[in-house]
Structure formats: structure tokens, C-alpha cells
Amino acid sequence: MNSEKLSQRLEAVVKYIPTGSRIADIGSDHAYLPCHVVRKGLVPFAIAGEVVEGPFQSARKQVESEGLTEEVSVRKGDGLEVISAGEVDCITIAGMGGALITSILDRGKERLVGVKRLILQPNLSAIMIRQWLLEHGWELIAEDILEEDGKIYEILVAEQGEPLRPYDQKNLPPLLLLGPFLMKEMSQPFKKKWKGELENWKRIVEKLDQAAKSDDNLRKREQLMNNIRMVEEVLYQ
């Protein structure tokens, strides 16, 4: 992968970036995504944010080697610390867990002023992001799911709006877990992901059944059985 040829995962993120927007890519690694969208003329300006020194230096070298130092600003900082309120109108965060992404958004809420779109690609726990968006006035407007190199990735796209719009409140738990748009599409990667999750959960339940009966184990078992029922109802209805 390089700035000319992105991974399928990052290409899927790019297709949701509005043309002409000013973006910040948080956790940008080598700054491939910001360089790519600037070189393609999709955006006039991008920020590549990194908190770790090694990736920060890699991003800086990449931008310098492509002659894009005027258009791509590489900044070192924790999460949304690298942007000022009103500086960008689109934020991408890709390749992290859902818990870390929600933590970044939560700690940087005041810097989301003026941001029109969030494009978030969690490696796991997308439910945490859907819950955060719902609680903080962001409307989920699109979702995507794809498989690359044996791994399945979800992409969530949100804008300021009506947080409850994509959801049926009577059916909220499975929609938050599985995704309202992804549930409608029922694509092959979606089915593969959740069939795999079902197998994993059932293995854990078997182990819990063989373990000592503690309150903690009983709570875990109950939650897993609830998840199993929800997913089976969707996959095998």
C-alpha cells in the first residue's frame, strides 16, 4: 500500500469524503490517505494527525517526499488535539478499536465544532461508536462492510442531525449491535462476520458452562445468550 494505491479498506473510507472538504485523518500512520485525496484533487487541504513519534516521522517524510507540505499538514498530538475548532469539516479515523475511537471523539468534543462529517472505521466494537453517535447528536447516514486479507471491516458515516432517524426504537439493541444499514443489505461480508461471532460466542458459553458458577460468569453468559438470540433472529429469520 502507498498513497497512489490504498488498501480496499481505506479506499472505502475515501469514497465517503465529500469533494472539496478540508479533512483531518486521525491516527494517519504514513499519511497515505491524506496524500492520496490531495493528489487526486478530492480535497484542497488535509491534516495528518499522529500521537506516536515513529508514525509521525513516517508521515512527515511521506508528505515531504510527495511535495505536499503546503497541502498536507502533519501534526503530532493526542487524538483531536491536532485540530482547532472550525479548522476542518470532515474527520476520518480508521484502523482502531471502537473503544479508542469513541474515547478520541469524547475527549475532543469541543473541537468538533464546524465538522460536518465523521467517517469512522473500527476494527472491532462498532456498537460502541453507534451508541456514542446516538448520545451526542450525530446521525448515522451510511454504513459499509468489506473483507480484505481475511479480515472484515465496518465503516460508519455520520453527520450532525437526527440521531434516532436510522433506528427503530422498538428494535434498538440489534440495530446498534449489527448496524441499521448493514442489516438491510445483508451482504456476504456481513453474514460471514456474524456467523463467525456466533461460533465464537457459543464456544465461550460452553466454557462458561464448565466453569465455576460465579455472578460474573452468569452475567457474561446471559449477555452472550442475548447476543446470540439477536444475531440468529437476524441471520436466520
Q: 197-227 pLDDT, tens per residue?
A: 999 999 999 999 998 888 898 999 999 999 9
- Residue bearing the bigger pLDDT, 236 or 90: 90
Written as nine digits, the cell of 110 is 469541543
Mean of the per-residue pLDDT values of the chain: 95
Under a CB-based contact definition with an 8 Å cutoff, are residues 4 and 36 in contact? yes
Judged by DSSP in three states, 40 sits in coil
Q: How confident is the model at residue 237 (pLDDT cuts 50, 70, 90)?
A: confident
Q: What average pLDDT does the segment 172-193 reach?
A: 96
Q: What average pLDDT does the segment 165-173 reach?
A: 91
Q: Which residue from 44, 53, 47 is spatially nearest to 18, judged by alpha carbons?
A: 44
Q: Which residues contact 47 (CB under 8 A, 6 or more apart)?
A: 23, 24, 25, 34, 72, 73, 74, 75, 82, 83, 87, 88
Q: How confident is the model at residue 3 (pLDDT cuts 50, 70, 90)?
A: low
Under a CB-based contact definition with an 8 Å cutoff, are residues 32 and 2 in contact? yes
Q: Which residue from 81, 102, 106 is spatially nearest to 24, judged by alpha carbons?
A: 81
Checking if the pLDDT of 5 tops 90, the result is no
